[in-house]
Amino acid sequence: MALREIVFLPDPVLRRKAHKVTAFDSDLQVLIDDMIETMREAPGVGLAAPQVGVLQRVIVVEYAEDEEDEDGPKKLYVLVNPEIVQVSKETELGIEGCLSVPGLVGEVDRHTGLTVKGLNRRGQPVKYKVNGWLARIFQHEIDHLDGIVYTDRATRVWKPREGEEAPVD
């Protein structure tokens, strides 16, 4: 495993649509392992392949299963070719940050719940029904696969004040 360099706006790779993964080979496994290590080191709660300069539809997400216990056990999700197949009618404004947009945060309206399907790292189908911040993280990461950065959806973007903590993808 190795740390990969995270690309920042205005790098054009962040504006391109990622390609569907068709080969579940050793290169993909290395990419996934590197993405997990890079996300954890950053630190972040999610990372999409375009954020490390790779135009493949791969995301990794790691988030505490109990939102109230941020230091509690975290669950790791690896999704290849993810698709949002159902969304809640309810949406909610929330503050987001991004490893590819350092130093800024924004207020983004996202669905409060969704169902996402895709393939795991071995190519087997998986489906998750997620809510709250986990749903927000999945939407944020899947946007990256379509060349969308949270600032495109934000109602307002600002530089956080010293000591103001912002969630980072």
Distance CA 91, CA 132 (A): 10
Beta bridge partners of 47: 60
CA–CA distance, 103 with 160 (Å, rounded to integer): 7
Is 141 a residue of the active site? Answer: yes
Cα angle for residues 69, 93, 13 (degrees, 5° grid): 90
Annotated catalytic residue, options 141, 162, 164, 165: 141
Hey, is 84 helix, strand or coil? strand
Helix (H, G, I), strand (E, B) or coil at 141: helix
Backbone angles phi, psi at 25, to 5 degrees: -100, -175
Active site residues: 141
